[in-house]
Amino acid sequence: MFSGSGRIAVCLSGLYDVMPKYTSEDLVVAHRQNSKGVWRDELWTNRNFAPHELMLAPLTSQLKDTHLTALANAPVGLPRIGRGSHPEGQSLALDGRSRVLLAPAGAIDGNPHGGSLFWLVGRASQASEANVSLENFCCSQTLEFTAPFKLPNKKRKVPVEWQQAEFPNLPVLSNKKAIKQHTRLMLFQAATEVKSAEGKSK
């Protein structure tokens, strides 16, 4: 699945480039420490957002050959059959479990913590408490090759094209409805999944 992972990485990089860039005037990261001394980050709006104005992409270098049950994961949609599908029919998920903190050095400890705002969105066990949802973004790709000599196989198609149906779909968090200022961003996740993930994190 090396080639599939490579295509996902290229698409993620490109997707992150076209996503909106936010500052502290748009979103605020709140750091909270629980009774056990573990830090948790929350993502809050610092202004009003119109429907679908907010978009967050899951930038990460970690890709797992399974659908993770932990909270910080984002499933990747793969073609079921044909070019671009998983050779063993498995699911893939982007893993953000090590990227749930985002803070400059000195904020929560002496180390800087960087990453994507995507992973800071909280999980709600009730659909009514959620204000963002996962939307699948489609990709396509065209590769062109140049060489210092003429390619011997004239029948080979150049450039190489990958259609949307052959490419993975990438998850993006967005708001279907307007979100008011000073609102914590929450994504719905079934209570059984939340409970399972909390048990694995202990």
Confidence at residue 81, expressed as pLDDT on a 0 to 100 scale: 60
Q: Are 127 and 191 in contact (CB under 8 A)?
A: no
Instruction: Indicate the length of the chain as a whole number.
Output: 202
Cα dist from 59 to 16, 28, 118, 156, 179, whole Å: 7, 19, 8, 34, 23
At residue 4, what is the residue type? G
Containing structural domain, residue 197: 2-201
What is the C-alpha to C-alpha distance for residues 149 and 18, in angstroms, rounded to an integer? Answer: 35
Answer yes or no: pTM beyond 0.75.
Answer: no
Confidence at residue 16, expressed as pLDDT on a 0 to 100 scale: 84
Confidence at residue 41, expressed as pLDDT on a 0 to 100 scale: 87
Confidence at residue 202, expressed as pLDDT on a 0 to 100 scale: 37
| Phi, psi at 173, each rounded to 5° | -85, 130
pLDDT tens, position by position, 179-202: 999 999 999 987 655 444 444 443
Confidence at residue 197, expressed as pLDDT on a 0 to 100 scale: 47
What is the C-alpha to C-alpha distance for residues 41 and 84, in angstroms, rounded to an integer? Answer: 35
Residues in the chain predicted with pLDDT less than 50, given as ranges, are: 69, 194-202
Confidence at residue 196, expressed as pLDDT on a 0 to 100 scale: 46
Which of these, 128, 127, 131, lies nearest to 173 by C-alpha position? 131
**Domain total in the chain:** 1
Instruction: Please name the residue ranges forming H helices in the chain.
Output: 2-18, 191-201
Confidence at residue 104, expressed as pLDDT on a 0 to 100 scale: 64
pLDDT tens, position by position, 5-17: 777 888 888 888 8
CATH of the domain at 196: 2.170.270.10
